[in-house]
Amino acid sequence: MNKVKKLFGPLAAGALSLAMPAAALAQGTNVVPLAIRPVNNALDVVRGIVQFILIVAFIAAFVFLLIGGIRWIIAGGDEKAVAGARGTITAALIGLVIVLVAYAIIRLVEIFFNVNIVTTGVTIPNITSIP
């Protein structure tokens, strides 16, 4: 477990360093990166919340899958550590299945009620798309 903690710090720093260039590029522009715009449609709010939850849940399950794999590799043959890693991997796979089932249910609701919740796609904001 101590080795996992030693690996998590550099991994978190690497992920943070990937997110920082967007903030650095916004330094020299007159664009306000976090502009608050009025919401005229409640469905847009619900759509954004559902998409956000699905994306975060999928990423969290994937990260736990990676952590379980790293724990298994680091276990070094210790059966207790391997069992813990196997439990983490099993929980992550169950989480991925739950996220995919939730996505399938949302798609069924879209088809039956003729609404767009997740089929509109996700727009990732960048410097040129911010008004």
- pLDDT score for 6: 66
Domain borders along the chain are 42-125
For residues 118 and 103, the answer to whether their CB atoms sit within 8 Å is yes
Distance (Å, rounded) from C-alpha 55 to C-alpha 57?
Answer: 6
Give the global pTM: 0.60
Provide the pLDDT for residue 28: 54
Residuewise pLDDT in 10s, the chain (131 residues): 666 566 666 666 666 566 665 555 555 555 555 556 666 777 777 788 888 898 899 999 999 999 999 999 999 889 999 999 999 999 999 999 999 999 899 889 888 888 787 777 656 656 665 55
Note the pLDDT of residue 5.
Answer: 61
Q: Are 68 and 92 in contact (CB under 8 A)?
A: yes
Predicted pLDDT at 117: 77
